[in-house]
Amino acid sequence: MSFIIESSKLTKKFPERVAVRSLSLNVKKGELLGLLGPNGAGKTTTLRMLSGIISPTSGSAQVAGYDIENEVEDLHEVIGLLTETPGFYESLSAWENLEFFANFYADLDVDYQIEKYLKIMGLWNRRDEKVSVFSKGMKQKLALARSLIHEPEILFFDEPTAGLDPRASREIRDLLMKLKKEGRTIFLCTHNLEEAETLADRIALINTDLIALDTTSNLKSQIFKKMVIVDLESVNNHILDTVEKLKFVVNVKQKDNQLQIELIDFDQNTPDLIKALVESDGRIKGVSKAKHSMEDIYLALIKSDEGEEI
Ligand SMILES: Nc1ncnc2c1ncn2[C@@H]1O[C@H](COP(=O)(O)OP(=O)(O)O)[C@@H](O)[C@H]1O
Ligand SMILES: [Mg+2]
């Protein structure tokens, strides 16, 4: 397996605090990795280290085979970067801004590339207007155009849809899917759970430390594999008592005529649970594995990271 991004014990300490601690992760070529975490979790700091903007305090990383500290110029040829608060020359036009940045790259057909990406971003008709009159969404699209102008194979995007209206957010998410289909590797920082779930192949959840790194469905089954949902015609105290007394039942929650039961082992205990329910005259309408949203996973993992029980 070859990884296009590999970090080993990447750490960033600021004078006041540790922002990222011993982060080891890897990203496959063509993969979209969602770096997810609450505000202040160290997402932007991680992205800035991996893209060669700031140096780690300790640890190391290679991106496209380049060392993030010692081969920054080569690194910048192959990555596209969308920062948290992209800056432009406000008194220059959209075209002029892109031209300025595109000229840093050797052997680039600047006019062709600018036209291509202004069109993709829906900004072609506004190309001669000053950036100062652009809305937040337009500026974000221009920033994306800038990050793509040299056709980088690896993209580092920091909260690309933060603060945008639903339509602009949707357009940007569609663009991310398109870029992924083109085979590009995308490192996406986000605190938006739905965005991470719908776009990411795998999710790295961080909160200074790495908390989890896996696909959404694996994260779900790891955390919630022991929960069973039983819908009954009606729930009475006798039924509730019976369930609570079963040795393999860890926890029971009642919601109207539904019982949410945490078992020691889903596969082994479910048949015995159903038998006990039937014997206590429970009329079962349905039994299912608990379904959980990305928010459930996120909250459970963040809670357990803060030392609380799930
Ligand atoms: N340049 C800096 N100097 C000092 N502290 C910083 C600096 N940049 C980030 N931090 C701190 O590091 C932590 C992580 O920040 P950041 O990486 O921006 O988090 P996120 O992007 O996940 O919200 C925060 O506590 C933040 O205040
Ligand atoms: Mg950030």
Residue 224 confidence (pLDDT) above 70: no
Write the secondary structure of 7-74 as one string of H (helix), E (strand) and C (coil).
EEEEEEECCCCEEEEEEEEEEECCCEEEEECCCCCCHHHHHHHHCCCCCCCEEEEEECCEECCCCHHH
Q: Measure 310 CA to ligand 2 centroid, in angstroms.
A: 27
The closest residue, in CA terms, to atom 4 on ligand 1 is 14
CATH (domain of 246): 3.30.70.100
- Strands across the sheet with 79-82, in order? 79-82, 154-158, 185-190, 32-36, 202-207, 209-214
Q: Measure 38 CA to ligand 1 centroid, in angstroms.
A: 12
The closest residue, in CA terms, to atom 25 on ligand 1 is 40
| Ion ligand 2: residues, CB < 5 A | 43-44
159 and 57 in a common domain: yes
Looking at 186, 214, 242, the residue that finishes a domain is 214
What count of Cα atoms within 13 Å lies in the side-chain half-sphere of residue 238?
Answer: 9
Is 99 a domain residue? Answer: no
Is 107 a domain residue? Answer: no
Kindly list the protein residues whose Cβ atom lies closer than 6 A to any atom of ligand 1.
14, 17, 19, 37, 39-45
The closest residue, in CA terms, to atom 8 on ligand 1 is 45
Q: Measure 132 CA to ligand 2 centroid, in angstroms.
A: 24
- Four-residue CA torsion sign, 84, 89, 93, 97: negative
297 and 236 in a common domain: yes
- Write the single-letter amino acid at 186: I
Percent of the residues in the chain that have a pLDDT greater than 70, as a whole number: 97
- Average pLDDT (225-244) is 92
Phi and psi at 222, nearest 5°, equal -60, -45
- Average pLDDT (232-260) is 94
Is 112 a domain residue? Answer: no
297 and 225 in a common domain: yes
Enclosing domain of residue 245: 221-305
Pairing of strands 227-232, 202-207: unpaired
Number of domains in the chain: 2
Can you give the pTM of this predicted structure?
0.83
Which atom of ligand 1 has the smallest separation from the CA of 159?
21
189 and 52 in a common domain: yes
Is 300 a domain residue? Answer: yes
Pairing of strands 66-67, 258-263: unpaired
Q: Measure 145 CA to ligand 2 centroid, in angstroms.
A: 20
Is 282 a domain residue? Answer: yes
The whole-angstrom separation of Cα 94 and Cα 124 is 9
* pLDDT per position as a tens digit, 142-160: 999 999 999 999 999 999 9
Residue 256 confidence (pLDDT) above 50: yes
265 and 195 in a common domain: no
Is 116 a domain residue? Answer: no
Is 39 a domain residue? Answer: yes
68 and 160 in a common domain: yes
* pLDDT per position as a tens digit, 1-50: 579 999 999 999 999 999 999 999 999 999 999 999 989 999 999 999 99
Is 77 a domain residue? Answer: yes
